[in-house]
């Protein structure tokens, strides 16, 4: 993730992950706030998560969770017998994932990762398509990580939105982390970028107000 030093690392997000609760927001330059669902992320996988987990269970190779946060999806995948690795830039999130018994690396998804080009599946859930503020670049990165025929499962914004913004993490006490680039994309904008990244859309589904797309790496990423 390309962000200002300290964003997500030693800011209100890290504190909320350690506590397991919010409230927490992304605050835009215009003052608009996007709520972050810290309690859900810190709880066991539930609800719409099960659709992601079931699709991962069908794969024949390990899954990497890009921006794994507190690790609920990694832990749930391991319980299902699916080998999984979490990757997150926030040390507090990685620590919490490891406490759940899940392997996790504290690094950017754009850094060198294990088994590049050999993952059977990759996850971009919970708004993580916004990482780095460039969804096209992130989708290409996901394609690079996948084995030929591998599947990238992406949670998109429920609305048909396509925006790149500068935000800061804001805690309950009003304290702000440093500014960094973020993005929000709906299904149509995500599908366009995924095609340019060498990914083929295979499925769309919605559950409990959340919306998801599945892409398969057909050949080499473009």
* pLDDT given at position 221: 45
For 93-137, what is each residue's pLDDT tens digit?
A: 999 999 999 999 999 999 999 999 999 999 999 999 999 999 999
* pLDDT given at position 12: 93
Q: Which CATH number fits domain 12-217: 3.40.50.150, 1.20.1630.10, 3.40.50.720, 2.170.150.20?
A: 3.40.50.150
For 137-163, what is each residue's pLDDT tens digit?
A: 999 999 999 999 999 999 999 999 999
Of 119, 123, 110, nearest to 147 (Cα)?
Answer: 119
Cα–Cα distance for residue pair 126/50, rounded to 1 Å? 13
Integer angstrom CA distances of residue 85 from 6, 67, 88, 104: 23, 10, 10, 5
Parse the chain into domains and list their residue ranges. Answer: 12-217
Contact 55, 214 (CB under 8 A): yes
Give the pairing of strands 84-88 and 104-106.
Answer: parallel
For 99, phi then psi, to 5°, come to: -65, -25
> Hey, what are 127's tokens?
């708004």
* pLDDT given at position 9: 59
**SS3 (DSSP) at 78:** helix
* pLDDT given at position 198: 94
């Amino acid at each position: 993730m390309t962000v200002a030093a300290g964003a997500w690392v030693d800011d209100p997000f890290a504190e909320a992950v350690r506590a397991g609760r919010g409230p927490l927001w992304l605050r835009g330059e215009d003052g608009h706030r996007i709520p972050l669902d810290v309690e859900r992320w810190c709880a066991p996988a539930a609800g719409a998560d099960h659709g992601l987990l079931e699709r991962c269970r069908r794969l024949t190779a390990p899954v990497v969770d890009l921006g794994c946060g507190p690790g609920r999806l990694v832990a749930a995948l391991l319980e299902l017998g699916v080998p999984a690795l979490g990757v997150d830039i926030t040390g507090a999130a990685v620590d919490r994932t490891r406490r759940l018994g899940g392997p996790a690396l504290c690094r950017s998804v754009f850094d060198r990762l294990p088994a590049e080009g050999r993952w059977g599946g990759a996850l971009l859930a919970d708004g993580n398509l916004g990482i780095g503020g460039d969804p096209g670049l992130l989708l290409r990165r996901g394609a690079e990580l996948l084995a030929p025929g591998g599947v990238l499962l992406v949670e998109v914004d429920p609305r048909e939105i396509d925006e790149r913004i500068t935000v800061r993490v804001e805690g309950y006490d009003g304290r702000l982390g440093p500014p960094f680039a973020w993005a929000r994309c709906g299904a149509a904008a995500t599908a366009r970028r995924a095609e340019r990244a060498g990914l083929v859309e295979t499925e769309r589904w919605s559950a409990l107000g959340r919306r998801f797309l599945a892409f398969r790496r057909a050949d080499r990423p473009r």
